[in-house]
């Protein structure tokens, strides 16, 4: 599952008519890099949770024949109105497996996603990464393999474990009724409070393309991380 419906407001005009995951990085749309990696990790199905300019993504999938080239089944779920990260997921609930990976469509985290897919300890497990500085991100504290605290952004924070934009979820934690809500603001804190949020720290190339500067830095990272 890839979240590809965000507005990309921090990117300004770059994302006005183009969904963030469709922005070109290292010669092709960012989502192509993510789907290529998914195929390389052995996944053969993907569902894109789309919203803003979903027709751009749909047209690209048709014209590029990416699914055929990767040997994957790629489907699109389009939210009827902006529902946030959680609402987009609950809107597609009928299409979910009992357990699945959910990834941010604007983040590249280069580790073996199959390792996270095998976790069974918690109904939700976040892939964490140590970053420095960590001033742009919410951070997590681990006790063993359980996340015991989620901290708000701290402009003075030099180093911390952040949510790397890849998680393993079970269908049971996804609300049955679609409504607008945020995974980051609602579901993760609720699961953390109940002791049901796991975390695993991974290393690997990491970049999110939410800012013009990080979009530029993604060029070098993706050029060396994905096959042609």
Angle of helix 30-40 versus helix 54-64 axis, rounded to 10: 60
The C-alpha atoms of residue 161 and residue 151 are separated, in whole angstroms, by 10
* pLDDT > 80? residue 208: yes
The C-alpha atoms of residue 165 and residue 193 are separated, in whole angstroms, by 20
193's CB contacts (< 8 A; 6+ apart) are none
DSSP E strands in the chain: the ranges are 2-3, 24-25, 28-29, 45-50, 73-78, 99-104, 107-109, 124-131, 139-143, 146-151, 160-170, 197-201, 206-208
What domains does the chain contain, in order, with CATH numbers?
A: 2-225 (3.90.550.10)
Q: What is the pTM of this model?
A: 0.92
What pLDDT is stored for residue 123 in this prediction? 98
pLDDT in tens, 73-120: 999 999 999 999 999 999 999 999 999 999 999 999 999 999 999 999
């Amino acid at each position: 599952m890839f979240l590809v419906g965000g507005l990309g407001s921090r990117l300004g005009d770059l994302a006005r008519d183009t969904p963030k995951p469709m922005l070109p990085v290292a010669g092709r749309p960012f989502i192509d890099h993510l789907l290529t990696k998914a195929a390389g990790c052995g996944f053969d199905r993907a569902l894109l949770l789309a919203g803003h300019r979903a027709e751009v993504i749909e047209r690209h999938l048709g014209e590029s024949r990416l699914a055929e080239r990767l040997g994957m089944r790629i489907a699109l779920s389009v939210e009827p109105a902006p529902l946030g990260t959680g609402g987009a997921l609950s809107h597609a609930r009928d299409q979910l497996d009992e357990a699945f990976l959910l990834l941010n469509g604007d983040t590249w985290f280069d580790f073996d996603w199959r390792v996270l897919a095998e976790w069974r300890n918690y109904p939700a497990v976040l892939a964490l990464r140590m970053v420095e500085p960590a001033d742009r991100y919410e951070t997590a504290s681990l006790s063993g393999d359980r996340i015991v605290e989620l901290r708000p952004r701290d402009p003075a924070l030099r180093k911390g474990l952040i949510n790397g934009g890849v998680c393993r979820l079970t269908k049971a934690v996804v609300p049955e009724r679609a409504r607008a809500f945020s995974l980051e603001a609602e579901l993760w804190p609720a699961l953390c409070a109940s002791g049901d949020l796991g975390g695993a720290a991974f290393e690997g190339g990491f970049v999110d393309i939410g800012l013009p500067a990080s979009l530029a830095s993604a060029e070098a990272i993706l050029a060396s991380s994905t096959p042609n």
